[in-house]
A and B are shown apart, each in its own frame.
Chain A
Amino acid sequence: MRPLDWIVLIFTLLVIILYGMYKSRTSRNLDGYFLSNRDMPWYIILLSIMGTQASAITFISAPGQAYTDGMRFVQYYFGLPLAAIVICISFVPVFHKLKVYTAYEFLETRFNVKTRALTSFLFLLQRGLSTGISIFAPSIILSILLDWNIYLTNLFMGGLLIIYTVTGGAKSVAYTQQLQFVIIMSAMLLAGYFVIKNLPQNIGLKEAITVGGKLGKFNVITTGIENGKFNWGDRYNIFSGILGSFFLMLSYFGTDQSQVGRYLTAKTIRESRLGLLLNGIVKIPMQFFILLLGVLVLAFYQFNNAPAFFNQYETARLENSTYKSEFHALQKQLSDIDAQKQTILKEYAQTKSVALLTEVNQLQKSTESIRSSVKELVKKNGGKDNDTNYIFLKFVVDYLPTGLVGLIIAVIFLASWGSIAAALNSLASSTIVDFHKRFFKKKEGDEDDYRYSKLYTFLWGVFCIGVAMFVSQWGNSLIEVVNILGSLFYGTILGIFLVAFYAKKVRGNTVFIAALIAEIVVIALFFLNEYKIISLGFLWLNAVGALMVYFLSLSLNAFAKKYKVIDY
């Protein structure tokens, strides 16, 4: 990074922190601290929801994902608008009318205290660990790419936002998310502009998309049907996107306190609903354009030499290993193929003959085969063979103008802060409302509540940074474990809420038992898939968990009622 990049980075981060502190004046009680006195308008709710959902990885990984796997990842969000409708109809009015602080508080009203405590505990466990990963994941990328110390990067990534999150609570979180989002989207648009500007003469947006499309990366809609059969193991297709993702999004927006806490700050039910519905409208096009950036970067690298592997830390390790000569041979092959591609593409730029792109596609297959061989070498050398997260940033650092590089690095911080701040706020609200006040100190004054709320926010911040430091020390494999935790529990948690809303006769003990059984089945299915005994994409686990809790609860309830075996 050059001096101007540093100036842009530091200035942007300082603006956010100062703005967060400026907006931190709020009533010194639970309502003020966790719900901004319930006075937020719909547009703040919308940006807050978007800022919470989009982490740094959303902006870094998505273009890399499109570069390697194409744009079909956008289908992952197809369930979101449908889930938003269901939440607006069933969840939002109940949460508002009961004036709850957390989604789990409602479960005690509907079922019993143990169902509330279990669900809130599962949330704290999952969200606490995944927030630590939200700090570590972008930090490791920045530390590798810019040669920063990983522990200091973790500290900056997770530490600075604590200043305004602790002092201002939900209000600071929402207002900073608003500003962060404007900066993030402006920077991504600028990045898009410069990708196109860096393309050769006579090659514009349409031609770049055509190149990407002919290389098979403009696969926005896929069916998951192979040889006449539906592939249940295929992660992203229109069916898993609509059905599987519907359950995931329903769970995330309807039962995850980090999101519920955002729309509970709304002035009225109307403001909450508008925020959720507009997110359902805006999110898919936004994700489409972020993925499109990846296709454009791929097109750019057809006209320019692409690195054999985008994680330079691993390539440097290869250079100093016994695999050095093999690596060089593969690099040589790659640059020969690049030269051939560039000759054909020069002709394409003149003639715009799409037939020429068939040859480029053949050559790209060779490129991908060589990249696979390089990945094998990285793996044999004891490294991490997935470089998806590095593709976009490597392009940014190598080709974008000074100043914009600093801004894109700032985007990574801001996107992380948006989701981490909301997570810390929700972790603190669940801890104080579902446990501290419920079980220990029931009759504290407003001032005590306020003090404890700040303390818990701070402690969760320290915990999450601790997780990030721990992961830094023990390696990347933990990330996958923690990411899986989410999809293992979301379905069951959603199932409990679905029973609460749509199965009025089912009582607490029944849903509690059904949830435990469903959770065991979900974990079993996950391991069967891991050991390749069955093939099931992870999005389906959400649907299985939720539907199992729902139908098991109904069956158990009928059984219990008939035989009077449990207190239904």
Chain B
Amino acid sequence: MQYKESGEKPSPFKSWTAWYVFVAAFLIVEIIIFYFLTKMFS
């Protein structure tokens, strides 16, 4: 069920896809940082 979206500006990115990639990348970076923190302190 796809709906056409009109007049939306997902700032600061140009598209929602960029937003989704950013959120997923943020998670990956978090996991990597947590991994190294775990290694560093245990």
B1 partner residues in chain A, CB cutoff 8 A: 90, 94, 110, 501, 504
Q: In the complex, how many angstroms separate the beta carbon of A364 from the nearest chain B beta carbon?
A: 14
Residue contact A281 to B3, C-beta cutoff 8 Å: no
Question: Do the beta carbons of A213 and B30 come within 8 Å of each other?
Answer: no
Query: Which residues on A sit within 8 Å (CB–CB) of B20?
Result: 85, 88-89, 277
**Residues of the B chain whose Cβ atoms lie less than 8 Å from the Cβ of A220:** 34-35, 37-38
- CB B1 to nearest CB in A, in angstroms, measures 6
Shortest beta-carbon distance from B28 to chain A in Å = 10
Count residues of chain A with CB under 8 A from any CB of chain B. Answer: 37
Residue of B with least CB distance to A501: B1
How many angstroms between the C-alpha atoms of A74 and B27 in the bound complex? Answer: 12
| A285 B30 Cβ-Cβ under 8 A | yes
Across the interface, do B3 and A218 meet the contact criterion of CB distance under 8 Å? no
| Chain B residues whose CB sits within 8 angstroms of the CB of A269 once the complex forms | 5, 8
- The residue of chain A having its C-beta at the shortest distance from the C-beta of B9 within the complex is A270
- B10 cross-chain contacts in A, Cβ below 8 A: 270, 273-274
Interface residues of B in 2-41 (CB under 8 A from A): 2-3, 5, 8-10, 16, 19-20, 23-24, 26-27, 30-31, 34-35, 37-38, 40-41
Known A269-B8, A270-B8, A270-B10; judge A219-B27 contact (CB<8 A). Answer: no
| B26 in contact with A81 (CB, 8 Å) | yes
Given A220-B34, A501-B1, CB of A78 within 8 Å of CB of B27:
yes
Q: Which residue of A lies closest to B27 (CB)?
A: A81
> How far does the alpha carbon of A90 sit from the alpha carbon of B5 in the complex, in Å?
12
Interface contact B31-A221, CB-CB below 8 Å: yes
| Nearest A-chain residue to B17, judged by Cβ | A89
Complex: A333 Cα to B10 Cα, angstroms: 61
Q: Which of A74, A82, A213, A285 contacts B41 (CB 8 A)?
A: A213
A209 adjacent to chain B (CB < 8 Å): yes
- Chain A residues, CB < 8 A from B38: 218-221
Whether A406 sits at the interface, judged by CB under 8 Å, is: no
Determine which of A74, A82, A94 lies in contact with B24 in the assembled complex, contact meaning CB atoms within 8 Å. A82
B20 to chain A, nearest CB (A): 5
A469, B19: Cα distance in complex, Å: 45
Distance between B26 CB and nearest chain A CB, rounded to angstroms: 6
Contact residues in B for A281 (Cβ distance below 8 Å): 23, 26
In the assembled complex, the Cα of A277 lies from the Cα of B11 at a distance in Å of 13
Interface centre among A84, A85, A288 (most CB of B within 10 A): A85
Cα–Cα distance between A89 and B3 once the two chains are bound (Å): 10
List of A residues within 8 angstroms of B35 by Cβ: 220-221
Task: Contacts A74-B34, A210-B41, A221-B31 given; indicate if A277 touches B23 (C-beta within 8 A).
Answer: yes
Render A274-286 as a binary contact track against B, CB cut-off 8 A, 1 for contact: 1001001100110
8 Å CB contacts to B: which residues of A203-241?
Answer: 209-210, 212-214, 216, 218-221, 238
Is the CB–CB distance between B31 and A213 below 8 Å? no
C-alpha gap A90/B24 in the complex (Å): 17
A143 in contact (CB, < 8 A): no
Contact A218 B27 (CB under 8 A): no
Known A218-B37, A218-B42; judge A94-B3 contact (CB<8 A).
yes
Q: Are A277 and B27 in contact (CB under 8 A)?
A: no
Most buried by A among B3, B5, B27: B27
User: Which one, B16, B23, B37, contacts A81 given CB within 8 A?
Assistant: B23
On whether the beta carbons of A277 and B41 are closer than 8 Å, the reply is: no
Q: How far is the CA of A110 from the CA of B1 in the complex (A)?
A: 10
With a cutoff of 8 Å between Cβ atoms, the chain B residues found around residue A110 in the complex are 1
Name A88's contact: one of B16, B31, B37 (CB within 8 Å): B16
* Chain A residue nearest in CB terms to B20: A85
* Set of chain A residues within 8 Å of B26, measured between Cβ atoms: 81, 281
Shortest C-beta distance, B6 to chain A (Å), equals: 10
When chains A and B are docked, how far (Å) is the Cα of A82 from the Cα of B26?
Answer: 11
Is A97's beta carbon under 8 Å from chain B?
A: yes
Closest to A97 in B: B3
Top 7 closest A-B pairs, CB basis? A213-B41, A220-B34, A218-B41, A81-B27, A85-B20, A97-B3, A270-B8
- Which A residues have a C-beta under 8 Å from some C-beta of B? 74, 78, 81-82, 84-85, 88-90, 93-94, 97, 110, 209-210, 212-214, 216, 218-221, 238, 268-270, 273-274, 277, 280-281, 284-285, 288, 501, 504
Q: What are 7 pairs between A and B in contact, CB < 8 Å?
A: A82-B24, A88-B20, A213-B40, A213-B42, A214-B41, A218-B38, A281-B23
| Given A85-B23, A213-B40, A270-B8: 4 more A-B contacts, CB < 8 Å | A210-B41, A218-B42, A277-B20, A504-B1
